[in-house]
Structure 1
Amino acid sequence: MMRIVLPVIGTVAAWRDHVRRLAAEGVAPEGVRWTVGEEARDLLVPDLPPILPRPLKIGREALDEIETALCHSDSERFNRAHALVLRLNDGLAWGDRTDPALRKLMEQAKTVRRDIHKMHAFVRFREVPTEGPRRAFAAWFEPDHHIVERGTPFFAKRFADMDWVIATPAVTARFDGTLHFEETADTARPPPDATEDLWRTYYASIFNPGRVMVKAMQSEMPKKYWKNLPEADLIPDLIRGADARVREMQAREAEEAPERRRAVARTMAMPERLQPEAGTLDALRAEAAACTRCPLYAPATQTVFGEGPRDAKIMVVGEQPGDQEDLAGRPFVGPAGKVFDEEAEAAGLDRRQLYVTNAVKHFKFTPRGKRRIHQRPDTGEIRACHLWLEGELGLIRPKLIVSMGATALQSLTGKGEGILKRRGGIEEMKDGTPVLVTVHPSYLLRLPDPELAKVERAKFREDLAQAARYLD
């Protein structure tokens, strides 16, 4: 019986070299005993007849699967792979699951790949002190199989800008720009670092109590990994509190606000009006009130059409109605409308002489409890609503259009990008009508820095003043 000792580092490559030599010498698989990492000399006892020497030639797919299976912890893996290599070389079809040995090898390769996947998912690096220019990290991981050499190139590609160590009970991988391996000498776990509390906060925030399936979770993240995961100590409490959190979430589910119910009731209670004269704003408004050209009409309370004098020299176009506009049925009556009114007056514009409207006539939102959170219209919704804006432009025929925000600019010029670079400029529609570009007043309300908000509001006022001067 020949005994071959394989090294702990480079086990698969050493096995491959030995198998080539054994095949060339005609040694049968039954006459070989494989071990890993033991100090022993090769012993050859010729108690089995030799086989015919042969060169080896098998497919790349088969070789990769065999080498993956050799990372399994099964002590018989080397003999099984040795025998299969010879049989594949002699004509055994790769992938034939009716062959017990081949089926066993393929199942073990699958198990190894799953263990590598677990390694990629559950290694948790902790930052450690370093004297070099690059940050350094360390991790401890306990795989089921011998996967360190096969699994760590993933980390070398993903974290190539830092030095790191991944230690396991048998083999340690080190990366300092080059990946190399050594037998593990120190089994101490790296100490916690400052990011672990942040990671726990993140994990708790994304934990979905409504989808807790403990058995499924433990299948994907077995308890054996928990001791090395900083977030694992939160899991028992998160599971215990899941039912209470679900009830809390259900209590906050979207519910139609009373204000909207009253607005819908007012709209439905309005008496039918006489048919407006064709070709007028009233006729266009009545037609738009029944618009179903895009899905936004369904959840909205009503169409919010433009308003202002028929002979207005300036038309102001915004994005879409907000929550208050949707309830009132009038444009620019909410917080953004109040900002516009204040700055227009300061710039010398009288809103009563302006025609104000929006590129999109229905309120797009997502419900959150009793609140309706604004959502930006998409390109399809902007195009669907452009018919009504074209109708307003054709009837008003303004000398200048003030475009507020990217949605309005896209609807008017076909391009809404780069609004901060374009603001204050005069562009043209296809028919030559001048368009003054500025931001939407809601942008000013979202700025968190008071000083920046003050500066941007002054710029907005100057844009509106430019519109006033344009008509002088």
Structure 2
Amino acid sequence: MPTVVLAHCLDFVTWRNATRTLILHDIAAEEITWRVRDPADAATQTGILSPLPPDTPTRSAFGVPRAVMRLIEDVMQTGAPDRFALAYRLVQRQVTGIAHPSGDDDADFTRARHLAQEVCGQTRAFRAHIATSHKPADALSWDDPSGFVAQCNARFVTLQLSFHPWRLEMPGGTMQWDGTSLQPGEPLHDADPASFPTPALPLVEGMDIDRITALPAVAETARSCLVCAMAHHATQTVFGEGEATAPLMFVGEQPGDQEDRIGRPFVGPAGQLFDRALQEAGIARDHVYVTNTVKHFKFFNRNGRRIHQKAGVEEIRACAPWLHAERRLIRPRLLVMLGATAASAILQRPVVIGRERSHPITLDDGTCGLVTVHPSFLLRQPTEEARTREYQRFVEDLRLAGRLIDA
């Protein structure tokens, strides 16, 4: 009978690898012994200890629906003593159709869903506790002794506390982040957090963005955001970039096709024109901060090409916390709004570019704002003469921006 030794009680990676091999060899759930390695015996090998049949696997490669694996990762965060065997049966049922030994086909899934609901509730409670705690970072505590929700949400804590060192007192041990590495505490001393199951909730859920004081922590959190529908279709979140204390901040509408693929703002054709205009205006891009109102690329497919779609009210509203955090942390002396979408989102009213362009505006936070066109507007001009004329007007707006921050 095969014995599987896991490195620690949250070792999802070893469990997953062993499960894949055992099911390929058609090993029944009741034939497997699951065991967690004794921390005092670090020399013990992990994985499948007992030899498997020498013949080739009896099954071909298989896949498991993502929803089932998500359910299993939630189950793994509980303290249920049979969670490894239960999770194995869930996979085996998907691959082979073998039912629960009791004859109740839904027994395992019913129990797993119940455990997962408990984990989701514990995760929400833990995150709310961390996000609303006003104690010093070295006085955090968590009193729930069931399961391993706190350990699986260590990244949430680190980002919510802006990468500052922290220590969390828990029943039976202490988990801490020293600024570079995580020590998950007992009974997971020296365990690799990369082997833990992922949290039951998306990283951004429950995060108090207004309490984050480090821009990199906001950016890292934003990369997990799937609030709006277009986030599920875009390649990645495209957060802002530039000097964290820049006196000059530029805000456009949304990333384009190349920005979405590369993961940086203003690197496509409009971005290259923007860089050229900055240089001509005597402004170094390295000394400014550039971002977008919306952090994902909204598009539709036409003959294999991804065609830009204008961001709507829902997308702008969903991304508003990220832009607000960028403004709050960078605190630019001048914010330049590139195009009507960015201007309307920041000014919270309809904006006609021709009417408000090139005139300094006092923003809601007391800083200065300036409206101009988006560089993509220059690319859409019908003639070379029009492109040259509008480009020069754009450069003049950038020169005005330079004078305003120097004033």
Identify the TM-score tier after normalising by the shorter chain. Answer: 0.3 to 0.5
Higher Cα Rg, which structure: 1
Higher relative contact order (CA 8 A, sep 6+): 2
TM-score normalised to the size of structure 1? Answer: 0.41
